[in-house]
Structure 1
Amino acid sequence: MTREHRPHLRPAGGEDPLCRLWQELPSLWRGPIIGPGIAEWASVTENRDGKIILTGLPDPFPAELAWMAHWQAQDGTRSSVLAINQLANIVRWAIRQGHPFPASIRAMDWETASALQGWFYATRWHRLPNKGVRGRLRALFRFARQALIVRCHEGAWWELDYWHPRCDPRIPLSAREPLANLGCSPGQITQPWVRSAVKWCLGTMLEAGTLRWTTVSQERLKCLHRFDTWLTECLENPAEVLGEPAKAAEQAAAFRRWVADPRNRMRGGTDQRHLGKPVHPRLVNDDLRAVAELFAFIAANRGEARTVLGASPWDRVSEVHAASWFGQVTRIPHSKAFNDEHYVDDHALAQIPAALPLLGLPRDQQMPITRGDGQQLMAGGMDDPQTMRMILLQILTGRRASEIRTCAFDCLSPVPDRALDAVEGEQIARFHYAQSKIDIAPDTILVDREVVEVIEEQQHWVRDRFPDLTPRFLFVQRTGNRRGDKPYASGTYNWMLREFSDLVQITDSKNRPVKLSHTHRFRHTKLTRLAELGLPVHVLQRYAGHATPTMTMHYIAAREEHAEQAFLATVKLKADGTRVQFSREDHDSMHLFDRADRFLPNGWCLLPPLQSCDKGNACLTCSVFATDESHHPALQRQLTETEELIARNSAAFEQRHGRSMPEDNVWLAQRRAEHAALTRLLAAMQDNPGRAVQGAGCGTAPAGPVPLTLDLTRHQRTQP
């Protein structure tokens, strides 16, 4: 193929869509030799000045490989020069040796390509390719080949067997899913009639906005894969699941028991660490709902189902099938009153910052660490400062892992001056995180200087690594990200934290291991600590980014230790001035009466919060004034100062007016009343050691709460 030559891509059904793609390629990318003349070619490829040579290949291989190389360059990864040249050599060698091979790259899956590569090395070099060589070729088939298949597919996007937004821009993403780096494979469902229905159902729900891509790719499709496995392994005829409606409940119950077995959920090389642990009822309910919603969707769209799916077992599905499967969803009992399962205590949190520098340390350096069991050792650096800062931001802010990992590069903004008045001398900024879960929830919080410094340090790191680019994300993918527009991969983040956690072995105060890869625990911990500081529920909800306060309260760990401390902090006195033992219900209600305007310099005002008082400074003679021994020095000092004040002002009055101050003098009468009230208060406290006293300054202390009627018009009347 030359640059002027149009490839012969005309199958019997019409023109091959690859012709259109080939014509859209820039002329320098059409081959048969790609590289010379292309601007910044050395930075575009993985092999510097290496050229892609496509001569001697049958159609449509040259056009396919040229388009894949160009797509890689546009995607921000580097064009796989070595892998493409090796695949071209394999095809040329197969032609020379008369060895069969697929008619195109689109028809050559990875298993076929890997087998051809093994045959090529065995026949030409008398050995098998090593792991690195196989990995290089696999990278070509992972994304570039899928993008080629997508561009040549003229049907609905959901008809394909593999879905990935990076390869297929037609997949709907919400505004808060700027870039989804996970794909899924509905084509792995083995029952054809189930596979076609799942594709149609999930594709339609995504386009309608009923489901999000994150939900479909990470949760829903996995549930339906388990349904397909159960059909294949447990039913002689899988179509029986849509048979007699009366048997639907029994079949749903059998599926519920099957998915509740951990062995049936750990298939295909998945993580085996949870094998043997009970499956949470919520996960079982998710599987049941996924199947029930699939049944309900097709039952509600019978006409469209016949058109899209054709004649199939779905012709027998009914609302009864869906209702029977929904009926197997169990009610999850409430958790126990005090649950700190997801809380990370101070003992564990103190160990984490000491070990975190190990994550950012270069691999050729070592540092001493102390593991949770007290063992000291020298550990090599893990050379991942991004993971170090991400987990630190999760601990400091309580954000979800995805909200930190995919937040924008310019995620800090100043706050109005009026918001800084409440925090003198503190550097406060607004942090815009990547809220990708709830559309109506807020996506900003105020953060302090410590969070700002971590973010600014990461920004400097990214600018140094990508000096000529404007990064889109604060945390970026380190490889295959030539343009700096891909976020740090979630799989890499989880893997790094697992490795780090296994090395440092953090433990809590009860000697239980704290797995740092379970980062959602830090969200529970942050919200619990804020709640223990007394933040109102609506403030906690706003900070957490939840749509309802009910969800926020699920994150609050009701720690027994904190409850006991709070009880002790409020064990002052009852309404009658006596000490009281608080129950849990009493403690919850105490917050309603924890009013700062009722704390006096020498005691407490027991006036109900909804009433107001016009007595001014006459608290000593008020029946709802209470005090205890903790205020004895202040009361004794006030008595002495009152005596001195009366003597001093009485002498001054007599010197000025030539006669003694009369006892009915308005000033002297008030001071005499205060003096008498203080004397009675101190005497009552002496007679009742260790007890608070109420209303002792106005005479006999009442035995219980004293009803008080306030005259709200007294201050408006004048004395005749």
Structure 2
Amino acid sequence: MAGEHRHLHPAGDQDPFWRLWLKLPEPWKGPVIGDGIEDWERITENGDRRIDLRGLPDLISAELAWMAHWQAQDGTRSAVLGTNQFANILRRALRENHPFPSSIRTLDWGTAGALQRWFYATRWSRLPPHGSIARLRVIFRFSRLALLARCSSEPWWTLDEWHPRCDPRIPLAEHEPQAHYGCSPSKISHEWLREAVKWWLGTQLEAGVLRWSTVSQERMRCLVRFDRWLSTFADPLDVLGDPAHAVQMAAAFRRWDADPANRLLRENEQRHAQRPVAARQLNDDLRAVAELFAFVAANPAEARQVLGAHPWSRATDAHAAGWFRQVSRIPHQRDLNDEHYVDDHALAQIPAALPLLGLGRDEHMLVTRGDGQQTTALGFDDPQAMRMILLQILTGRRASEIRTCLFDCLSPVPDRALDAVEGEEIARFHYAQSKIDIAPDNILVDLEVVAVIEEQRKWVRDHFPGITPRHLFLQRTGNRQGDKPYPSGTYSWILREFSKIVKITDSKGKAVGLSHTHRFRHTKLTRLAELGLPVHVLMRYAGHATPSMSMHYVAARQEHAEQAFLATAKLRADGTHVVFSRDDHDSLHLFNRADRFLPHGWCMLPPMQSCDKGNACLTCSVFVTDSSHEAALERQLTETSALIDRSTTAFRERHGRPMPEDNVWLLQRRAEHAALAKLLDTIGSQPGRAVQGAGCGTAPAGPVPISLDLDRHRRTRP
């Protein structure tokens, strides 16, 4: 039976599919597929069931056999149930003379779905159930796209569906992660626009001007929105009319595009319907259209050859200029803010809640939410997501750089493999740098990061035995070869659902959405900058090509600005110290808040907040002082010591026993005495520097299973 198809396609056959058929392994040529194929049960995940293609037209039978083999090679399962169901539908259609296309390549999902509905209606008088539709849909996703790509003799960009997983001809940048997502030019309904978009984006991608991630995730969406706007016109070709009206056309598109409801491309985007559209998003859409017009106008001969004379012969540089003119200027000067900064209060809650991500779906965990309420939640059964977000917090890398990093991502530091920094061994972490070609792709990490990576490696070995995985974080299903990274959509979704349960809040009570993981990059770089790293070192750690981009990530925190201001030595132009500058500048900063002047320092509490601690300034984190108050502090230390001695002596004389050390009054006085001693010791050892807080740590809010060093950015390194 396996030789049934081979005599049907002579050497001179013009159908390119038969070239693929000649390379297909003999056990896969059917018409019954399964016998003689190694590890068939593991490849199909449907036990020992076989694919039965008997009784089908020769070309369709051969195409389905090739698609089943491609699925196995791709690392997903061969769709035994879906293929057999489709074969049954076609056999019934043949018996009853119901028409259908002669090739899978011309039989799209719409036609296949109609055939399935006809099959269920004529045989069981009902519509197909959801499970049957899903099984059939599998055949018409990746494997059919792969078949179309292999049989196409035209450039890859002439197809209406693009997917690097299915079409190896699509160019990917050297540092770009293996792309497991595609895009659909077919969503552009106007054929004249769709063909121009495919030609333009395909050419730009092959020339290296654009990357696949930019083309598929940004430009195509921009132009799909432009296509939808054209559908509101009686004649969409008016957009290529008089160039003098191009500015008005672009302004009309900008107004339409500014409505959030007009920008939704999928039903699951309804949550964004009420969000205002940022100026940068509008500029991206306008710029995409303008660049398309400019490209066509700059290549008239090629445009006539590829697109024909109508209607793109009307496109001129004036059209592009009119659309470019509507791109608004966005000022880059930003106010003092910490919008993307995650403070210590929020970071302390995240590690305590992270184990919920790794628990099984039948396990429960008591979670303390950001508002202080406790709730019992079911686990998410996703330890990979738990480790990914933890690595983002610890290293400040982008989500894609963690999600797609290689399995062997650690290496020893040359000549320093056994050295230690502050007692911690270091290693070099190679992340998946995918954004900037000239930027570095590795950083030094400490033992905590290494431990997380090693734990993930062990998890991969346990769940994917017998394979050599490519990535550190893997897609859990349809990934027998271990070459598919953890999907970005899954990561965003699970963090969004996790945020709804744990409700992380910052110190101001503002919710912190964990699905916006880029804020952890802002936070890490801000803390490194506050640590005093030089700009070129910060840029190297961030993986940026310019210092200005690194500075964009540094949050201008009010708290740090005040700390740095008080600790800065002021100099004259001739290099001499300004004796009165500290008091003078502190007064300028606080002159309108007389209640912030204290006998032994200043209170740096933000103006909009009030203090409820009474006179407990010495143990307050927003209390600051310096050497100018040394005399007052020494006097207070002496008086506090004398007060403790008098009170403890009086207690002994009255009660006949010493005052207990856990006495409420004595505990507070001892804390004040220790704080004063530490303040004076710091002032003496670091003259000329301001001191914040009394060195008294705050009590932890609760147990933290996974430790984060929240104070490292405040340490002063030699």
For 1:373, which of 371, 374, 388 is the aligned residue? 371
For 1:487, which of 485, 488, 506 is the aligned residue? 485
Specify whether residues 631 and 411 from structure 1 end up closer, same or farther in structure 2 by C-alpha distance, changes over 3 A only: farther
Specify whether residues 582 and 111 from structure 1 end up closer, same or farther in structure 2 by C-alpha distance, changes over 3 A only: farther
Give secondary structure in 2 for the equivalent of 1:446.
strand
Match for residue 25 of structure 2?
A: 26
Q: CA deviation at 1:524?
A: 0.7
| One-letter amino acid of the structure 2 residue matched with residue 130 of structure 1 | P
> More deviation in 566-575 or 59-68?
566-575
Match for residue 105 of structure 1?
A: 104
1:578 correspondence with 2:585: no
Q: Tell me if structure 1 keeps the 8 A contact 2:286–2:323.
A: yes
Q: CA deviation at 1:74?
A: 0.8
Which whole-Å CA distance do the structure 2 matches of 1:341 and 1:27 have between them? 61
Q: CA deviation at 1:93?
A: 1.5
Specify whether residues 422 and 549 from structure 1 end up closer, same or farther in structure 2 by C-alpha distance, changes over 3 A only: farther
C-alpha distance after superposition, 1:361-404 (max 9, x if no partner) = 01111110012222211111110000110011111111111000
TM-score (norm 2): 0.79
Which whole-Å CA distance do the structure 2 matches of 1:122 and 1:228 have between them? 37
1:395 correspondence with 2:393: yes
Which whole-Å CA distance do the structure 1 matches of 2:446 and 2:269 have between them? 38
Q: Tell me if structure 2 keeps the 8 A contact 1:403–1:436.
A: yes
Match for residue 132 of structure 1?
A: 131
Specify whether residues 633 and 97 from structure 1 end up closer, same or farther in structure 2 by C-alpha distance, changes over 3 A only: closer
1:475 correspondence with 2:473: yes
Which whole-Å CA distance do the structure 1 matches of 2:305 and 2:436 have between them? 35
Which whole-Å CA distance do the structure 2 matches of 1:75 and 1:395 have between them? 33
Specify whether residues 194 and 10 from structure 1 end up closer, same or farther in structure 2 by C-alpha distance, changes over 3 A only: farther
1:430 correspondence with 2:428: yes
Match for residue 535 of structure 1?
A: 533
| One-letter amino acid of the structure 2 residue matched with residue 433 of structure 1 | Y
Which whole-Å CA distance do the structure 2 matches of 1:569 and 1:549 have between them? 25
| One-letter amino acid of the structure 2 residue matched with residue 154 of structure 1 | S
- In the alignment of these two chains, the number of paired residues is 595
Give secondary structure in 1 for the equivalent of 2:477.
coil
Specify whether residues 561 and 88 from structure 1 end up closer, same or farther in structure 2 by C-alpha distance, changes over 3 A only: same
Q: What are the within-5 Å matches in structure 2 for residues 73-222 of structure 1? A: 73-222=72-221
Give secondary structure in 2 for the equivalent of 1:373.
coil
Which whole-Å CA distance do the structure 2 matches of 1:384 and 1:545 have between them? 29
| One-letter amino acid of the structure 2 residue matched with residue 106 of structure 1 | R
Specify whether residues 422 and 337 from structure 1 end up closer, same or farther in structure 2 by C-alpha distance, changes over 3 A only: farther
| One-letter amino acid of the structure 1 residue matched with residue 289 of structure 2 | V
Q: CA deviation at 1:122?
A: 3.2
Which whole-Å CA distance do the structure 1 matches of 2:400 and 2:633 have between them? 57
Give secondary structure in 2 for the equivalent of 1:273.
helix
Q: CA deviation at 1:561?
A: 1.6
Q: CA deviation at 1:567?
A: 2.2
| One-letter amino acid of the structure 1 residue matched with residue 366 of structure 2 | P
Match for residue 385 of structure 1?
A: 383
Q: What are the within-5 Å matches in structure 2 for residues 238-253 of structure 1? A: 238-253=236-251
Match for residue 454 of structure 2?
A: 456
Match for residue 329 of structure 2?
A: 331
In the alignment, structure 1 segments of 5+ residues that lack a partner are 588-626, 635-691, 694-720
Q: CA deviation at 1:633?
A: 13
Which whole-Å CA distance do the structure 1 matches of 2:32 and 2:404 have between them? 38
Specify whether residues 633 and 402 from structure 1 end up closer, same or farther in structure 2 by C-alpha distance, changes over 3 A only: closer
Match for residue 269 of structure 1?
A: 267
Specify whether residues 358 and 154 from structure 1 end up closer, same or farther in structure 2 by C-alpha distance, changes over 3 A only: same
1:510 correspondence with 2:505: no
Q: Tell me if structure 1 keeps the 8 A contact 2:105–2:147.
A: yes
Specify whether residues 83 and 576 from structure 1 end up closer, same or farther in structure 2 by C-alpha distance, changes over 3 A only: closer
Which whole-Å CA distance do the structure 2 matches of 1:422 and 1:65 have between them? 59
Give secondary structure in 2 for the equivalent of 1:92.
helix
Q: Tell me if structure 1 keeps the 8 A contact 2:566–2:582.
A: no
Q: Tell me if structure 2 keeps the 8 A contact 1:10–1:16.
A: no
Which whole-Å CA distance do the structure 2 matches of 1:537 and 1:168 have between them? 42
Give secondary structure in 1 for the equivalent of 2:421.
coil
Q: CA deviation at 1:280?
A: 0.8
Specify whether residues 419 and 52 from structure 1 end up closer, same or farther in structure 2 by C-alpha distance, changes over 3 A only: closer
Q: CA deviation at 1:437?
A: 0.4
Which whole-Å CA distance do the structure 2 matches of 1:148 and 1:194 have between them? 26
Q: Which structure would you say has the larger Rg?
A: 1
Which whole-Å CA distance do the structure 1 matches of 2:190 and 2:7 have between them? 38
Give secondary structure in 2 for the equivalent of 1:60.
helix
Q: Tell me if structure 2 keeps the 8 A contact 1:44–1:73.
A: yes
Which whole-Å CA distance do the structure 1 matches of 2:509 and 2:218 have between them? 33
Match for residue 692 of structure 2?
A: none
Q: Tell me if structure 2 keeps the 8 A contact 1:296–1:318.
A: yes
Match for residue 499 of structure 1?
A: 497
In the alignment, structure 2 segments of 5+ residues that lack a partner are 590-626, 635-686, 689-718
Which whole-Å CA distance do the structure 2 matches of 1:367 and 1:628 have between them? 52
RMSD of Structure 2 on Structure 1 (CA): 2.5
Q: Tell me if structure 2 keeps the 8 A contact 1:2–1:32.
A: yes
Match for residue 343 of structure 2?
A: 345
C-alpha distance after superposition, 1:601-648 (max 9, x if no partner) = xxxxxxxxxxxxxxxxxxxxxxxxxx97859999xxxxxxxxxxxxxx
Q: What are the within-5 Å matches in structure 2 for residues 493-642 of structure 1? A: 493-570=491-568, 575-581=577-583
Give secondary structure in 1 for the equivalent of 2:366.
strand
- Which structure has the higher relative contact order (CA within 8 Å, separation 6+)? 2
Match for residue 355 of structure 2?
A: 357
C-alpha distance after superposition, 1:399-431 (max 9, x if no partner) = 111000000000000113458757142111100
Q: Tell me if structure 1 keeps the 8 A contact 2:2–2:26.
A: no
Specify whether residues 498 and 628 from structure 1 end up closer, same or farther in structure 2 by C-alpha distance, changes over 3 A only: closer
Which whole-Å CA distance do the structure 2 matches of 1:186 and 1:225 have between them? 8
Give secondary structure in 2 for the equivalent of 1:554.
helix
1:6 correspondence with 2:15: no
Give secondary structure in 2 for the equivalent of 1:155.
coil
